[in-house]
Structure 1
Amino acid sequence: MITGGNYMQNPLGNLLDQQQYLVNDGAMGTELEKHGVDTNNALWSAMALLKNPEAVIAVHRSYFEAGANIATTDSYQANPQAFAKLGLTEQQSDDLIRQTVQLASAARDEYLANLTTVQRFSQARNLLIAGSVGPYGTFLADGSEYTGAYDLTADAYQDFHWRRMALLERAGADLFALETMPNFAEIKALCALLKDEFPEMTAWVSLSIGTNQDKLADGTPLADVVEFLNDQRQVVALGINCTSMNNVTSALRVISAHTAKPIIVYPNNGDIYDPTDKSWQVNPEAATFSDLVPEWVANGARIVGGCCRTTPADVAEIKQALFK
């Protein structure tokens, strides 16, 4: 492993010093499917890196155009181990992971190029690229990112995550997005890895919660996880993602009672997911972001976006709800 320097940059914190709220982007896989990318496989949205990288640029750009401040790279399920199972060489795998940052950066450049000079100067400082790091459960591709039902040593977790994180950092990601994290032991290992190997980088940690909104998916009390993250200097925001919109407010009340750090939430769009067959059922009775974002803000959220099944239209709706 390679150890960096000692200066920690905090671009997310700097932006939050300037704006009360930030808008995160929305689903990658949902939009890629509209571009003809088959995501029903072990690589999920990362398949687009092999089949249609231009579609990844288009999706990122659509979220910037909808008002997102943050592009989350298409690396959630893009890990060296998954690429190796497909028969890719280490060099090919490394190139694909670096490419996830390059594609987000290209989308940002394309978006900025269509603005006026004054708009470009203002917006360029307000657009960040977060290097997505999914949990070990995504490699298993069995839905365990929603249960945390796996058990590795701390060293094994770190060995799994290190190379992807190193490639994202070197490619120019502004920060890490440690997403859909369901397993407390893995979270602890990742925070130690962040401290020891990436001292110049910051991260947000968004948690995977179960049907009980006061617990991590693996059953750990949510308050305990938040208290631990409070002590992690490089964790500059924390919250939840990839859960029902109806779970957010209850979880926020627990999180906000135990932290002063910025809180990020980006739930699914309200449709119902079956992790056993990876299918979605439309929920016609789901609430809207317009309905719920004010409630989330009132309970401490400062960064709001969307996860599975959300669209650029949803992100535009989130922005309007945040700044009306």
Structure 2
Amino acid sequence: MAHKIAILDGGMGRELARVGAPFRQPEWSALALYEAPERVREVHDSFIAAGAGTLTTNSYAVVPFHIGDARFAADGQRLAALAGRLAREAADAAPEPVRVAGSLPPALGSYRPDLFDLPQALAIHRVLIDAQAPFVDVWLGETVSSIAEAEAIHQALAGQPQPLWLSFTLNDEAEQYDAVSTLRSGESVTAAVTRAVELGAENVLFNCSHPEVMLSAVRQAAAVLKQLNASVGIGVYANAFEHGSNGGGANEGLSGLRKDSDPAGYLHWAQEWVAAGATLIGGCCGIGPQHIQRLAEALK
């Protein structure tokens, strides 16, 4: 590989479940912050040992969508701060430098650009930002379904000195596999990447979508960045959800994991993304330390 590849971590939620941490819907990965925070640290340590150079805080589910309005009002600040501290302590104990990315999830529901409301999103994001700010090196807007969600994250971060990474989630129904990738809102990758550059994003990524739709997105992003002469990195961290798993409500159950996203299969996709211009590679839901170790051995 001609350019240096940064290795990200993998999916926190499914790894918590695999190691026996408390895990269920609707709380998802936030439940471990309530009942077994030592397991969150254990998972962070596992990803570092596998070769990850960036840890993402376990704050993805610290939103009313997962823990409810009342618990978010009572516990949101504390849980988000705990998520930031656990990642920071793991990173500081690592034998080599490790960055901490503060997760800023979809404030009003994953894959649901139709639910977006700017005042509500800003209020939720600002709780997460205030709590995690002492612990993070970069801010990571994750699973962004629309340009409006990206703009809200940027607005909520006003005055924060850390760099911004924006990671978009893509329409990944089967009929999209051979087409030009789009955001779940239907907006184009070209428009999203252009706006991310205007917002000052240091890296533009694609996450929590099937691996098959990532290559088109990377190619489109690379073309936009070349046209804009922008020094912005491109990242990918796909999920391992079974095909057709996005049809139900986000809190109605646990999606199955596909068998062809084993470490060898996932590496094959990652090598295609790198060949197309990706410089940051990791994993989302269902991608664990074994996957990250395989990526690090082959790409780092």
Paired position in structure 2 for 1:150: 115
In 1, Cα distance between the equivalents of 2:101 and 2:295? 19
In 2, Cα distance between the equivalents of 1:280 and 1:82? 16
- Name the stretch that deviates more: 240-249 or 30-39: 30-39
Q: Which structure 2 residues correspond to residues 198-209 of structure 1 after superposition, within 5 A?
A: 198=160, 200-209=161-170
Matched residue type, 1:97: A
Paired position in structure 2 for 1:283: 258
Could you tell me the TM-score, scaled by structure 1's length?
Answer: 0.80
Residue 101 of structure 1: how far off its partner (Å)? 1.2
Which of residues 116, 125, 137 is equivalent to 1:174?
Answer: 137
In 2, Cα distance between the equivalents of 1:289 and 1:174? 27
Residue 102 of structure 1: how far off its partner (Å)? 1.1
Instruction: Say yes or no: does 1:218 pair with 2:185.
Output: yes
Paired position in structure 2 for 1:227: 194
Paired position in structure 2 for 1:104: 87
In 1, Cα distance between the equivalents of 2:258 and 2:64? 36
Specify whether residues 191 and 42 from structure 1 end up closer, same or farther in structure 2 by C-alpha distance, changes over 3 A only: same
Residue 285 of structure 1: how far off its partner (Å)? 4.1
Q: Which structure 2 residues correspond to residues 262-301 of structure 1 after superposition, within 5 A?
A: 262-269=233-240, 271-272=242-243, 273-274=245-246, 276=248, 277-286=252-261, 288-301=265-278
Residue 268 of structure 1: how far off its partner (Å)? 1.1
Identity %: 26
Specify whether residues 262 and 57 from structure 1 end up closer, same or farther in structure 2 by C-alpha distance, changes over 3 A only: same
Paired position in structure 2 for 1:245: 211
Residue 160 of structure 1: how far off its partner (Å)? 2.4
Task: Indicate if the aligned counterparts of 2:107 and 2:124 stay in contact, CA closer than 8 A.
Answer: yes
Query: In the TM superposition, what whole-angstrom CA distance separates every residue of 1:161-210 from its partner, at most 9, and x where no partner exists?
Result: 112112111x321111100010221211222232x342x12121000110
Which of residues 290, 293, 296 is equivalent to 1:316?
Answer: 293
SS at match of 1:305: strand
Matched residue type, 2:255: W
Matched residue type, 2:239: N
Matched residue type, 2:267: S
SS at match of 1:217: coil
Could you tell me the TM-score, scaled by structure 2's length?
Answer: 0.86
RMSD: 2.2
**Matched length:** 281
Residue 136 of structure 1: how far off its partner (Å)? 2.1
Which structure would you say has the larger Rg? 1
Instruction: Say yes or no: does 1:304 pair with 2:281.
Output: yes
Task: Indicate if the aligned counterparts of 2:151 and 2:199 stay in contact, CA closer than 8 A.
Answer: no
Q: Mind listing any 5+ residue stretches in structure 2 that lack a counterpart?
A: none
Q: Mind listing any 5+ residue stretches in structure 1 that lack a counterpart?
A: 1-18, 113-119, 139-144
Matched residue type, 1:205: L
- Name the stretch that deviates more: 307-316 or 31-40: 31-40
Matched residue type, 2:131: L
In 2, Cα distance between the equivalents of 1:103 and 1:264? 24
Instruction: Say yes or no: does 1:130 pair with 2:98.
Output: no
